[in-house]
Amino acid sequence: MATERVVREFSDRLNLVLLKNSENRGANYSRNIGIRLAKCKYISFLDSDDFWMPEKLAEQMAILDAQKDANKATLCVTGRYRVGAESGRIIARQLVRTSFNREAIVRSNFIGTLSSVLVDASLARAVNGFDESLPACQDWEFFIRISENVNFLSVSAPLCVYVEHHENRISASNKNRLRGHLFIKRKYINILEDKTGLSEFYRNVAEELQILGRKRLAKKIYIRAITESIFPAWKRLFAEALLHAYYRWRQLPILKTVRYISYERKLERVGASVEELSQLRKDQGFIYTAFQRW
């Protein structure tokens, strides 16, 4: 098993404890076991496909030591690279915002991946860890529950690497993400006073439906995403009718492709800064090397 091999490789340098389940009960079950048994003050997570840049924990601990809040538990996150599983090429450089509150995280899971997180173990235990019934979006739902009274710290730099797959398993993962988004909407998104969160929700759902081949429903939901945040309710029906007429003659864009084009354009803008471009090239080299060792 790859996990056991990694533990053996580092056991002479680190105090590692490997917990093995008798059966596969899902990632959230395993995370919750770790949360309950952890004896340290802070917990970090690392999904099996992802990895950290070498300085990730050191930079998080440095900012945590400098900006502790005696009255609040801490959640510290970093930016992330999104890379292709087959090539190891950086697809996106996603920096994290510096402010955090319940409405912001309900509107959008801007933290993005659990692998960027360092959190007070006491806080994770206080909210009973992760919801094991959720098929996806467990990290997003966890962030929402801890958002009420937390000392939020962020390291903007991309210090963790999220590996994105394009395999035949995508159909199952898209179905799970769709169920996760619907759960978040039912439980949390409807409390928002503004419509931005609903608009983003509809856009994400439309992308998942399109990938699953539900083109007609995807078009309907995508049109709702466009009109939700732009038009007041009394104008929305008219706007939706016009958009339905427009897309009757014009094919809906491939929403995932549109998202990736947005990633590429943001990466291109990195070239405007010599320092950022140098760091990007250095990090890409490290990621390629990590993939070769994988």
What whole-number distance in Å separates Cα of residue 100 and Cα of residue 103? 8
User: pLDDT at position 215, please?
Assistant: 93
For the chain, which domains are there? 2-164 (3.90.550.10)
In degrees and rounded to multiples of 5, residue 21 shows phi and psi of -85, 145
One digit per residue, the tens of pLDDT, for the chain of length 294 reads 577 887 888 888 888 888 888 888 888 999 999 999 999 999 999 988 899 999 999 999 999 999 988 889 999 999 999 999 888 999 999 988 888 888 889 888 999 899 999 999 999 999 999 999 998 999 999 999 999 889 999 998 999 999 987 654 456 788 898 999 889 888 887 666 566 778 888 999 999 999 999 999 999 999 999 998 787 777 888 899 999 999 998 999 999 999 999 999 989 888 778 888 999 999 999 999 998 877
* Phi-psi sector, 83: left (phi>0), alpha (psi -120 to 50), beta: beta
Query: How many CA within 13 A on the CB side of residue 131?
Result: 18
pTM metric for this prediction: 0.88
8 A C-beta contact, residue 161 and residue 131: no
Q: How far is CA 264 from the centre of its chain?
A: 18
User: pLDDT at position 168, please?
Assistant: 47
User: pLDDT at position 166, please?
Assistant: 67
What whole-number distance in Å separates Cα of residue 69 and Cα of residue 75? 11
